[in-house]
Every structure is written in structure tokens, then in C-alpha cells.
Amino acid sequence: MCRWLSYIGDPVYLEKLVFEPRHSLVEQSLHAEQAKTPTNGDGFGIGWYDERKTPGLYREILPAWNDPNLRSLAHHIRSGMFFAHVRASTGTETSRTNCHPFAHDNYLFMHNGQIGDYPLVRRVLEAMIDDEFYATRHGTTDSELIFCLMLTFGLRTDPHRAIRKTIEVVEREMNERGATAPFRFTACLSNGESVCAIRHASDDKPPSLYWRKRGDHVIVVSEPLDAESDSWIAVAPNHTLHVCRDLNICEEPTLSATGCKGAA
């Protein structure tokens, strides 16, 4: 399983979250506390929004703790909305194209979890991807496949319907092909204007997800960045959290979500 964080609010340097907290994302890449695997060393990535419409992206196969380029970029990049992700592979190879976040036009997407028994359903799910999005699928992960399915099912026009349909299709195909491992889907996406974070599982063990609001910003994380446990709020299982540019927050059941005004 992976660890990730997203930030929305007044611009800050990425190092404020990626490196500086006691339990920063880089620290979690070595010593995660709420994951199946404590080490997340199969690559990392950052994605950020600035004055341009489309996000910047940097991904690398080195462990996050061992890449001096990441430290330099995090020291110099200042953003009011960014993603960061450290990867623990669930079976696919370690390559830049398999590192998160994934980007398409103005969208960013990252994921922690897995499609259970992925080889059983990979081919049939890939066949559902529209040609437009299949042509931009460069890696082999189930995470990027999920992103392409959401785009195929109308992410740009009706994101909540696209998320619901993707979950329903993945779970249907898993059931029809006799998959016994669960579908675990704790993910985050943005269109550059808002953040949408989903905590879902086909069993009763969705990966952890927390958020915290402090004045001029909201942080959404796989696990808390510090020991201030009372300040972090867990997203309920099978719920979606929406955070808009004005920091309006709402949480809804994922399979009936309609989204806050202005949400992704």
C-alpha cells in the first residue's frame, strides 16, 4: 500500500509538508504507521498547480528519502494546491510511468489500494477505456486504469457519477470472474479548482484517510503528519470528502455523492 497527501489553501513551499513535519511523507516512505507495509520505496511523485491550467509533474523510481532532486524541488516549488505520493507496489513493476500522481489535461489523480486479483480483470477493464484515454495510458498499474475508467465514464462532466460507475464496474467484473481479494480504493483527484478524496473498499477494511483544516488551508492525508491526534478527522468508510477553493468542506456517502458547489 502507498501513502499520500494533498494540500489546498494559501500557497506554501512543498517542503513544509513533504519533509518538515515529524511524520512527513518522506518519513512515511520509511516508517508508515497505518499501512500494511511500513516501507514505501517503489518510487514517488509530486504534482502541483500554479498559474498554468495544467499541473506540473515530477515522478521518479528512487525512494523518496534518497532523491536529492525531490528535496531541491520541494524547497523551491510554492503552490496552493498540490499532491505528493510515495509508492509501495502491489505487483506491477517499478517505473516512472507507474508512479503517482497521474495527470490528464487539468486533472491529477493518485491512489492507495488495489483491485483485488487484478490479472483476472485487467483485460476486460482495459477494453472499456475510450481510445482517447487509452492512448495516454503509459503504465501498467490498476491505479492508472481506474483513472482512465473515470475519464471514460465522464469525469469531466459529471465526476460523481463517473466515480460511482467506476467502482460499480470494477466490483461487478471482480465478482463475475471470481476474484477473492478485495477492492481497496482510497484515492484523491483534482481539476485544479477543488480536491475530491474517496475512501472505499469492497470489504470492511478501506485504507486510512484523514483531513485537517487550519485557517488558510486543508490537508488530506493517508495518515497524520504529526502527533496532534485530536486535530485530524478520519473520513468515514465508503465516503467521499470534497474541499473547494474557498475551503468549504463536505463529506458524503460515495455511492450517493452529489458534491459540494464547485467540487471536482
Catalytic site residues? 2
Q: List residues bridging with 81 in a β-sheet.
A: 8
Query: Contact 187/197 with Cβ under 8 angstroms?
Result: yes
Concatenated DSSP letters of the chain: --EEEEEEEEEEETHHHHTSSTT-HHHHHHH-SSSSSS---S-EEEEE--SSSSPEEEEESS-GGG-HHHHHHHHH-EEEEEEEEE---SSS---GGGSSPEEETTEEEEEEEE-TTHHHHHHHHHTTS-HHHHTT--S--HHHHHHHHHHHTTTTT-HHHHHHHHHHHHHHHHHHTT--SPPEEEEEEE-SSEEEEEEEESSS-PPP-EEEEETTEEEEESS-SSS-GGG-EEPPTTEEEEEETT--EEEEEGGG----TT--
What is the 3-class SS of 53-73, one letter each residue?
A: CCCEEEEECCCHHHCHHHHHH
